[in-house]
Amino acid sequence: MNISGILVISAIEHTAAVCEQLRSLPGIDIHYVDENTGRIVITQEAETISTEVDGLKRIRSLPHVVLAEMSSHYFEEDRELIDAIPPDLDNEALEKREVPAFLNEQYDEKSST
């Protein structure tokens, strides 16, 4: 599960309409609305990072949305993301690598000059 905090700014005269459009989208919860500035704070829940990004794009394309930016992001184990990790960066592969000997040597300032 991916949860993102998103700041939406609407045209002030259309804030209520934008809120209604946001409520109709899946996984969206509205937490704060400032009618005087058009600022709307929402969270979006999505199954994968791809669906989360698609949801943000959908929000940005709504009529009268001036700006929509992700301000925070939380994700649980996402198979899509984990499967995309290159094999040489996988934690298990990294743990099996030996540390080069020179990284374990003591640094002596006198011998380096």
Domains defined along the chain, listed by start: 2-94 (3.30.70.920)
Written as six digits, the tokens of 112 are: 């380096």
pLDDT digits (tens, 9 = 90+) for 34-57: 999 999 999 999 988 889 999 999
Q: CB atoms < 10 A from the CB of 108, how many?
A: 8
Give strand ranges (E) for 2-62: 2-10, 28-34, 39-46
pLDDT digits (tens, 9 = 90+) for 71-109: 988 877 666 666 776 665 556 655 666 666 766 677 666
Written as six digits, the tokens of 33 are: 């609305």
pLDDT digits (tens, 9 = 90+) for 1-47: 889 999 999 999 999 999 999 999 999 999 999 999 999 999 999 98
Written as six digits, the tokens of 105 are: 């040597």
d(CA 51, CA 5) in angstroms, rounded, equals 15
Whole-model pTM: value is: 0.67
> In the block, which residue shows the tokens 């005269």?
13
d(CA 20, CA 9) in angstroms, rounded, equals 14
